[in-house]
């Protein structure tokens, strides 16, 4: 019954449900199937929103990804979401970094019919109980990025408990271990979503992102 309700929810509101994806083309690969646990993750592709922040006379542009997480792992899980965008011009934007509550309120108002229980990220962080009735809906919000960027990647963390310990190829055994000389790197299984922004720098500010890939990676 829960599975059927989840599928119906996705169909009604246009969510994309991640259920695997093409092989990774770059960076450390992660398995399509989690070794520990993996949360159900439904999402809208990135959208723009313009918000008049308190005290500002002109609107500011933000990007956001509305998502819903569901715990069907068979155990309660501590959900700590983390999101970031990396553009093809190598600009990095951390989700939620310096984002005003005004922006979350504007997103909630835009989607109030689909998601009446939308909550800010701090309200969905914490123990995630099992079952569809305990699903949580929020948004990863980003400041706008380089207008010259023709594409970007969204990295969504906190969706899986898998952690891999990989040797550091630059480790110097003759020197003491430190933050700059680590013997191993601890990498987490992370969902990567790749997007193109069609057009030229003049028109990209209005272009709709085109998703071209989705995969699990280690970061």
Task: Decide if 173 is inside a domain.
Answer: no
Task: Decide if 133 is inside a domain.
Answer: yes
Q: What is the mean pLDDT of the chain?
A: 88
Q: Is the pLDDT of residue 1 over 80?
A: no
Whether the Cβ atoms of residue 46 and residue 209 lie closer than 8 Å to each other: yes
Task: Decide if 145 is inside a domain.
Answer: yes
Write out pLDDT tens, residues 185-207: 899 999 999 999 998 888 888 89
Task: Decide if 72 is inside a domain.
Answer: yes
Cα(69)–Cα(39) distance, integer angstroms: 6
Write out pLDDT tens, residues 123-164: 999 999 999 999 999 999 999 999 899 999 999 999 999 999
Task: Decide if 176 is inside a domain.
Answer: no
What's the pLDDT score for residue 113?
95
Cα(48)–Cα(66) distance, integer angstroms: 11
Task: Decide if 155 is inside a domain.
Answer: yes
Task: Decide if 174 is inside a domain.
Answer: no
> How many domains does the structure of the chain reveal?
1
SS3 label, residue 110? helix
């Amino acid at each position: 019954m829960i599975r059927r309700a989840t599928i119906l929810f996705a169909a009604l509101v246009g969510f994309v449900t991640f259920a695997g994806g093409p092989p990774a083309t770059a960076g450390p690969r992660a398995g399509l199937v989690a070794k520990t646990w993996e949360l159900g993750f439904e999402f809208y592709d990135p959208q723009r929103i313009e918000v008049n922040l308190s005290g500002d006379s002109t609107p500011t542009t933000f990007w956001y990804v509305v998502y819903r997480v569901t715990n069907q792992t068979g155990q309660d899980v501590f959900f700590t979401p983390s999101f970031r965008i990396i553009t093809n011009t190598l600009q990095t934007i951390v989700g939620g970094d310096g984002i005003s509550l005004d922006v979350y309120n504007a997103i909630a108002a835009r989607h109030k019919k689909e998601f009446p229980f939308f909550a800010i990220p701090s309200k969905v962080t914490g123990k995630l109980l099992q079952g569809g009735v305990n699903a949580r809906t929020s948004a990863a919000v980003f400041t706008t990025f380089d207008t010259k960027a023709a594409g970007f990647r969204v990295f969504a963390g906190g969706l899986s408990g898998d952690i891999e310990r990989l040797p550091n190829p630059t480790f110097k055994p003759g020197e003491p271990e430190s933050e700059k000389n680590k013997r191993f790197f601890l990498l987490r299984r992370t969902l990567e979503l790749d997007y193109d922004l069609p057009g030229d720098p003049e028109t990209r500010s209005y272009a709709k992102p085109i998703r071209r890939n989705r995969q699990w990676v280690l970061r």
